[in-house]
Structure 1
Amino acid sequence: MPRLALYTFGTLKTPLADSTPATREFYETGEAVYRKIGQRPGYLGHAITNGGDRGLLFGADWGAWGEFTVPSWYDKGRTVETTALAATLSLWTALRPAFDAIYTGLHRAALNRRYDWFERTGRPSHVLWWVPDDATPTWQDGVARLEHLHDHGPVPHAFTFHRAFTGAGVPGVPDEDTER
């Protein structure tokens, strides 16, 4: 049965290495959000570096998740000191559990504060797509699909929570019983 991949991307107002209270708060909130999301029904896992170095994205060992990359519109730093972005790549059993995890609880509270931390870019901040049960999505997959979403709008290849498709490519917000 296919699984749902979710890629998120945002450009931060300040580099991750910045010592301002806002950056520290972003890190602390993010760590708490990941702890909670990891306990959610339907959550299968997310991309983490094999070294676990905080702030190291480019050049890190991401294992099966592939080489870290970013959308073509990201024009800020790429070193530990200058990187100003937040990106996630995760796997879910279905759309409803992912939606519930993102739009409720601690993550919802963080979303309400996103403009304290992120620039308003006019670009999509997330993309979803279905992957075969034995596949691990890569950072390159996520970037390609986010750019496709930006250029072409939601389609079965790359869609959003609010313009979703089932694994069979049928438009509409699927429920647990019909999304595959």
Structure 2
Amino acid sequence: MDDHAPSRFHLAQFNVATLVLPLDDPRMADFVALLDPVNALADATPGFVWRLVEEGEADATGMRPAGEDVIINFSVWESAGSLWDFVYRSAHLETMRRRREWFRRHMEAHLVMWWIPAGHVPTVEEAMERLALIREHGPTPRAFTFNASYTAEEAAQAEEAAQAEEAEEAAQADVAAAAAGPERGSPVA
């Protein structure tokens, strides 16, 4: 999984966590206190590229695109290996071990990863679409997890195939609309 060489692709990761209590509840104080140190650790980890930060804030915990009680984490990494090292080989792991204190157990996918062109800054809308993809279809080259991962090359091929399929569907819709012609019985000007 170690792929620290410069690449044309970077790895985007997006995850959601459903809070057991509001962030301002005193029982969430330990989690809130860990936000800045864990984010600083991520920012300083070799291979880190970018993380979503709400305008004027230090993090994205105020953004709630997945529901009022759901916080998001969204970042980009040079490689799967650099993300793995941060998640499982740094002080971040201790925070993960305590996640049941702060978050509900998800019954559906709560994490998604996908390859993006280096330099691309993904949007929250894009992330929500990828999360929906993995929830609907399971891991694919377009939306996957550490347990079922794909290479950047496999992802690029899948993206090209998906774009070709979308173009073909659009062309077929155009042909069908043209074949139908003007609606019968409509007044002619």
- Tell me the TM-score range normalised by the shorter chain: 0.7 to 0.9
| Larger RCO, structures 1/2 (Cα 8 Å, 6+ apart) | 1
Q: TM-score with structure 2 length normalisation?
A: 0.72
Q: Which residue number corresponds to residue 110 of structure 2?
A: 125
Deviation of 1:33 (Å): 1.0
Structure 1 residue 146 corresponds to structure 2 residue 131:
yes
Q: Which residue number corresponds to residue 4 of structure 1?
A: 11
Q: TM-score with structure 1 length normalisation?
A: 0.76
Runs of 4+ in 1 over 4 A off after TM superposition: none
Using a 3 Å threshold, how does the CA distance of structure 1 residues 53 and 33 change in structure 2: closer, same or farther?
closer
Deviation of 1:53 (Å): 7.0
One-letter amino acid of the counterpart of residue 15, structure 2? T
Q: Which residue number corresponds to residue 63 of structure 1?
A: none
Using a 3 Å threshold, how does the CA distance of structure 1 residues 124 and 43 change in structure 2: closer, same or farther?
same
Contact 2:14/2:74, CA 8 A, preserved across alignment: yes
Structure 1 residue 113 corresponds to structure 2 residue 98:
yes
Report the structure number with the largest CA radius of gyration.
Answer: 2
Structure 1 residue 57 corresponds to structure 2 residue 63:
yes
Q: Which residue number corresponds to residue 48 of structure 2?
A: 43
Contact 1:15/1:85, CA 8 A, preserved across alignment: no
Q: Which residue number corresponds to residue 39 of structure 2?
A: 34
Q: Secondary structure at the match of 1:44?
A: strand
How many residue pairs end up in the alignment?
A: 147
One-letter amino acid of the counterpart of residue 144, structure 1? E
What per-residue deviation string (whole Å, max 9, x for no partner) do you get for residues 91-129 of structure 1?
Answer: 110100001101122211111111110001212221100
Distance 2:36 2:58 in 1: 14
What RMSD over aligned residues (CA atoms) do the two structures have, in Å?
Answer: 1.7
Structure 1 residue 13 corresponds to structure 2 residue 20:
yes
What per-residue deviation string (whole Å, max 9, x for no partner) do you get for residues 66-113 of structure 1?
Answer: xxx22xxx4xx3xxxxxx222111111010000110112221111111
Contact 1:16/1:85, CA 8 A, preserved across alignment: no
Q: Secondary structure at the match of 1:142?
A: helix
Contact 1:44/1:91, CA 8 A, preserved across alignment: yes
